[in-house]
Structure 1
Amino acid sequence: MALFGKKDEEHAANLVFQQLRLAADRRARFYVVVRTRDGKQHSLPGLIESYEGPTLLIDMSTGVRLSSAWKGQTVECYFRIVAMAPQRTEQHFMFASRILDIRALSTGLIVELEKPAAIDSGQRRRSVRVRPVPELVGLLEMRRDQSSDDGPLPLAALDDYRRIIGVAAQNPLEGDAPTVPLAPAPAADQGPVPASSPASDPQPGLVDISAGGLRACIAPRAGEDGEKGPLTRGDKVVLRAILHWPGGAHQPLDVLLKGEISTRMHTGSVAGGVDVGVEYLLDGKIDADGTVTWVPVRDGVYRIAQWVNAVYMEYMRKVRSR
Structure 2
Amino acid sequence: MHDFIFSASTSSNNFFSQIGKSFSASSFRTETALFTVYALLLIVAILIAVIIFMWFKNRKNNKYIPQDWVLHPSHIANTLRIARDEHEKFEVQFHSNGEKRRSTSCLLTDVSKDVLTIECSGLTNLQSSWVGKDVDCYFQVHKVSTGSTFFMFTTQILGVRGYANGTAILTLQTPVKLEQRQKRASLRISPPQQYIMGLAAWIAPDGISTKGTLDIRQWGRPVLTYLPEKSSQIILDNISAGGTKVRIPRAEMRKCDLDFKIGDKLFLLIDLWDPDTGQRVRYWLLCRVQNPFIDFVTHDAELGLQFLFTAQPDKKNTAELRWIEEPIGTGLDSIGNWVMRRHLELYREKGI
- TM bucket (normalised to shorter chain) is 0.5 to 0.7
Structure 2: gaps of 5 or more residues: 1-60, 62-69, 95-99
Change (3 A) 1:79 1:18: farther
Mean Cα deviation higher: 296-305 or 145-154: 145-154
Distance 1:142 1:270 in 2: 25
Shift of the alpha carbon at 1:55?
A: 0.8
**Which of the residues 239, 243, 253 maps onto 1:209?**
239
Where does 1:93-242 land on structure 2 (aligned, <5 Å)?
A: 93-98=152-157, 100=159, 113-116=171-174, 123-146=182-205, 148-153=208-213, 157-158=216-217, 160-161=219-220, 163-167=222-226, 186-187=227-228, 191-193=229-231, 203-219=233-249, 220-223=252-255, 229-242=258-271
Return the alpha-carbon distance in structure 2 between the equivalents of residues 215 and 15 of structure 1: 35
Indicate how the Cα distance of structure 1 residues 319 and 270 shifts in structure 2: closer, same or farther if over 3 A, else same: farther
Residue 253 of structure 1 corresponds to 281
Q: Which one-letter code corresponds to 2:209 in the other structure?
A: D
- Matched with 1:292 is 321
Cα distance in 1 for residues equivalent to 2:139 and 2:347: 19
Report the equivalent of 1:276: 303
Offset, 1:23: 2.8
- Report the counterpart of residue 17 of structure 1 in structure 2: 73
Query: Would the alpha carbon gap of residues 49 and 222 (structure 1) be closer, same or farther in structure 2, given more than 3 Å must change?
Result: closer
| Greater RCO (Cα-Cα under 8 Å, separation 6 or more) | 1
For the residue of structure 1 that corresponds to 2:71, the secondary structure is: helix
Alignment check: 8 A CA contact 1:16 1:117 kept:
no
C-alpha displacement of 1:284: 0.9
- Say if 1:153 and 1:292, in contact at 8 Å, map to a contact too: yes
TM-score for both structures, normalised by structure 2: 0.58
Equivalent in the alignment of 1:44: 105
Gaps of 5+ in 1: 6-13, 168-185, 194-201
Deviation at 1:192, TM superposition (A): 2.7
**For 1:301-320, what per-residue CA distance to the aligned partner results, in whole angstroms no more than 9, with x for missing partners?**
11101111112222332454
When normalised by structure 1's length, the TM-score is 0.63
The reply to whether residue 56 of structure 1 matches residue 116 of structure 2 is yes
Q: Equivalents in 2 of 1:103, 1:23: separation in Å?
A: 27
Partner of 1:31: 90
CA pair 151-89 structure 1, distance change in 2 beyond 3 A: closer
SS at match of 2:91: strand
Alpha-carbon deviation of 1:118?
A: 5.3
Rounded to whole Å, the distance in 1 between the matches of 2:114 and 2:247 is 47
Q: Which has the larger radius of gyration?
A: 2
The offset of 1:223, in angstroms, is 4.5
Distance of aligned partners of 1:42 and 1:67 in 2 relative to their CA distance in 1, 3 Å threshold: closer
The code of the aligned residue for 1:259 comes to: C
Q: CA deviation at 1:18?
A: 5.3
Contact 1:264 1:277 in 2 (8 A): yes
RMSD (Å), alpha carbons: 4.2
Give the aligned residue type for 1:166.
T
Letter in 1 for 2:334: R
Task: Give 1:95 shift.
Answer: 1.2
Report the alpha carbon displacement of residue 102 of structure 1 after superposing the two structures with TM. 7.7
> What are the superposed Cα offsets for residues 179-223 of structure 1, whole Å, 9 maximum, x if unpaired?
xxxxxxx43xxx233xxxxxxxx7112222111111111134444
Alpha-carbon distance in structure 2 between the residues aligned to 1:205 and 1:269:
18
Work out whether residues 273 and 280 of structure 2, in 8 Å CA contact, stay in contact via their aligned partners in 1: yes
Structure 1 residue 276, shift from structure 2 partner: 1.4
- 2:50 maps to none
Number of residue equivalences: 261
Say if 2:157 and 2:171, in contact at 8 Å, map to a contact too.
yes
Indicate how the Cα distance of structure 1 residues 192 and 256 shifts in structure 2: closer, same or farther if over 3 A, else same.
Answer: same
CA offsets per residue over residues 47-101 of structure 1, 9 Å max, x none? x66543321145x8xxx8456865865643124689999x999775331443746
SS in 2 for 1:32: strand
Q: Is the 8 A contact 1:143 1:164 kept in 2?
A: yes
Q: Distance in 2 between matches of 1:234 and 1:83?
A: 32
